[in-house]
């Protein structure tokens, strides 16, 4: 490995592991081949090869349809994940490694009884119901050269958070997402680094079918589809039929119809800015969608792309960055993140403004329903019905958005 190549690899991994933004290198597009007939069927039925770009329009909103309530749960702690299992019971996790619980719809919060290793953060959580849930703890290395200091843990509760047990632990891993589709079947995705010179590592994919007691490594099958380039898986979506879709930070999408026995490369979000990082994937009305953005001194933009027929239809919103996106109904979606101004003008000053935006036309038009200059970023969303959305952000912010009575669905 040449010095130039080694430095490029270190910069890429540092960006993927530590910051959440992808490094400034051109994403690689390479259509993977597979010998598995089931995987070929996915690719043939759902080819997404072409690419259409449009610019989203930011509309002026009087915010008459929504009321926002701000609660500061733990000032000084940045909240990064949130989930509600119903209108009352919810969970939020911080990057400082603290887990919080509410039983009254977010009016009040208490610290959960979870022991977290020093330096670990609550990176993801997934509750199947009010009593059964899993929390992913992630400790990231302070220097990418010390990649073995990356460490991941999975903790489970069966009594609503009163007690926790450790189910999984690994070094050299950066896990981005844990998702349980039901009390038995769960997935984790991320990045596994084995060595730096020459670089050896790749996508990490595990699944369980017994509530996390045992985990099966499916990474090899996914890594075999494409050239390894230091990319990381960032999200996983599971349909009721157990069809599973994976997203990588550089915009590669993978699918399986048989819970991981066979995989296909569904497509790649091409022609993105080099700084683009894609964070979320889902399926709505049978169409896959992804969300994320780019943020650098060269500029900031939010991205929402959906698979339509044989094309990715991409909508971009200049000056904004999307950290999370949820559909509250089949036609209405909310995105959260921050506003950084035109051409990254605020990046060097560190000034951003946390925002929540709403769209009801597939991302063509967006309106700001909440903004806060004292919260640098709003990081995660949860929705249990069309009339209620929660969000969490930096400095311990929890926002409850409720549709006004006269506007409720």
In tens, the pLDDT along 57-110 reads 776 555 558 999 999 998 889 999 999 999 999 999 999 999 999 999 999 999
Percent of the chain having pLDDT more than 90? 63
Longest dimension (CA), the chain: 65
- pLDDT tens, residue by residue, 308-339: 877 888 899 999 999 999 999 999 999 999 99
Tell which phi-psi region holds residue 8, choosing left (phi > 0), alpha (psi between -120 and 50) or beta.
alpha
Q: Are 202 and 190 in contact (CB under 8 A)?
A: no
Whole-number mean pLDDT of the chain? 84
**117 has a pLDDT exceeding 90:** yes
- pLDDT tens, residue by residue, 158-199: 999 999 999 999 999 999 999 999 999 999 999 998 877 777
- Cα separation, 307 vs 329, whole angstroms: 18
Region 218-238 average pLDDT: 88
Angle (CA) 172 183 96, round 5°: 45
Local confidence band at 131 (pLDDT 50, 70, 90 cut-offs): very high
pLDDT at 54: 60
- pLDDT tens, residue by residue, 36-58: 333 323 233 444 444 455 666 77
Q: What is the CATH number of domain 1-23+113-268?
A: 2.120.10.10
pLDDT at 227: 65
Q: Are 266 and 248 in contact (CB under 8 A)?
A: no
Rounded to a whole number of angstroms, the CA Rg of the chain reads 20
Q: Record the tokens describing residue 124, joined without a space.
A: 């993801």
- Cα separation, 159 vs 156, whole angstroms: 9
pLDDT at 65: 86
Q: Which helix (H) or strand (E) covers residue 282, if one does?
A: strand 276-284
pLDDT at 408: 62
pLDDT at 49: 44
pLDDT at 265: 92
**22 has a pLDDT exceeding 70:** no
Percent of the chain having pLDDT more than 70? 81
Region 231-251 average pLDDT: 93
Q: Record the tokens describing residue 215, joined without a space.
A: 């985990």
pLDDT at 64: 58
pLDDT at 74: 84
- Cα separation, 258 vs 125, whole angstroms: 24
What residues contact residue 146 under an 8 Å CB cut-off, 6+ apart?
none
The DSSP secondary structure of 243-279, one letter per residue, reads -EEEEETTSEEEEESSTTSS-EEEEE--S--TTEEEE
- Cα separation, 336 vs 33, whole angstroms: 36
CA quadruple 302, 144, 155, 249: dihedral, nearest 10:
30
Q: Are 339 and 371 in contact (CB under 8 A)?
A: yes
pLDDT at 409: 62
Residue 387 to residues 87, 209, 391, 400, 407: CA-CA distances in angstroms?
Answer: 10, 33, 14, 11, 9
Q: Are 233 and 204 in contact (CB under 8 A)?
A: yes
Taking the model in full, what pTM does it have?
A: 0.85
pLDDT at 4: 43
**354 has a pLDDT exceeding 80:** yes
pLDDT at 373: 92
Comparing 109-113, 263-267, 401-405, which segment has the lowest mean pLDDT?
401-405
- Cα separation, 376 vs 395, whole angstroms: 8
**So where are the chain's domains?**
1-23+113-268, 61-112+275-409
Angle (CA) 337 248 308, round 5°: 80
- Cα separation, 171 vs 178, whole angstroms: 17
- Cα separation, 131 vs 60, whole angstroms: 42
Question: Smallest Cα–Cα separation from 81: which of 177, 156, 169, 16?
Answer: 177
Local confidence band at 272 (pLDDT 50, 70, 90 cut-offs): confident
Phi, psi dihedrals of residue 319, rounded to the nearest 5°: 90, -10
- Cα separation, 384 vs 399, whole angstroms: 14
Residue 156 to residues 90, 127, 128, 134: CA-CA distances in angstroms?
Answer: 16, 9, 11, 4
pLDDT at 46: 42
- Cα separation, 271 vs 223, whole angstroms: 22
Q: Tell which wins on pLDDT, 312 or 391.
A: 391
């Amino acid at each position: 490995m040449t010095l130039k190549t080694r430095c490029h690899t270190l910069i890429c991994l540092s960006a993927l592991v530590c910051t959440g933004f992808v490094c400034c290198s051109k994403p690689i597009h390479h259509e993977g081949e597979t010998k598995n007939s089931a995987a070929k069927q996915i690719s043939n039925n759902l080819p997404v090869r072409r690419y259409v770009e449009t610019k989203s329009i930011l509309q002026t909103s009087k915010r008459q349809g929504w009321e926002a309530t701000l609660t500061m749960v733990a000032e000084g702690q940045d909240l990064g994940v949130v989930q509600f299992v119903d209108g009352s019971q919810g969970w939020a996790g911080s990057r400082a490694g603290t887990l919080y619980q509410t039983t009254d719809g977010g009016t009040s919060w208490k610290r959960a009884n979870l022991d977290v290793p020093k330096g670990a953060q609550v990176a993801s959580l997934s509750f199947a119901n009010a009593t059964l849930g899993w929390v992913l703890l992630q400790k990231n290395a302070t220097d990418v050269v010390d990649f073995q200091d990356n460490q991941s843990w999975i903790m489970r509760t069966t009594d609503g958070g009163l007690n926790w047990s450790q189910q999984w632990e690994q070094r050299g891993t950066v896990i981005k997402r844990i998702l349980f589709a039901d009390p038995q079947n769960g997935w984790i995705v991320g990045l596994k680094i084995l060595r730096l010179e020459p670089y050896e590592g790749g996508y990490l994919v595990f699944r369980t079918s017994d509530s996390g007691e045992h985990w099966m490594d499916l990474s090899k099958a996914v890594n075999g589809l494409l050239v390894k380039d230091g990319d990381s898986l960032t999200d996983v979506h599971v349909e009721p039929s157990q069809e599973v879709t994976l997203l990588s930070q550089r915009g590669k999408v993978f699918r399986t119809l048989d819970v991981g026995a066979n995989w296909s490369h569904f497509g790649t979000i091409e022609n993105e800015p080099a700084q683009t990082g894609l964070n979320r994937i889902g399926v709505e009305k049978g169409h896959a969608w992804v969300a994320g953005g780019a943020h650098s001194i060269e500029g900031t933009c939010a991205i929402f792309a959906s698979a339509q027929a044989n094309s990715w239809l991409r909508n971009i919103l200049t000056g904004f960055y999307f950290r999370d996106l949820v559909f509250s109904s089949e036609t209405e979606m909310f995105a959260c993140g921050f506003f950084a101004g035109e051409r990254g003008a605020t990046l060097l000053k560190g000034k951003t403004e946390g925002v929540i935006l709403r769209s009801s036309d597939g991302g063509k038009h967006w309106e700001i329903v909440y903004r806060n200059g004292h919260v640098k970023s709003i990081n995660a969303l949860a929705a249990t019905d069309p009339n209620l959305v929660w969000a969490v952000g930096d400095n311990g912010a929890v926002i409850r958005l409720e549709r006004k009575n006269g506007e409720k669905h």
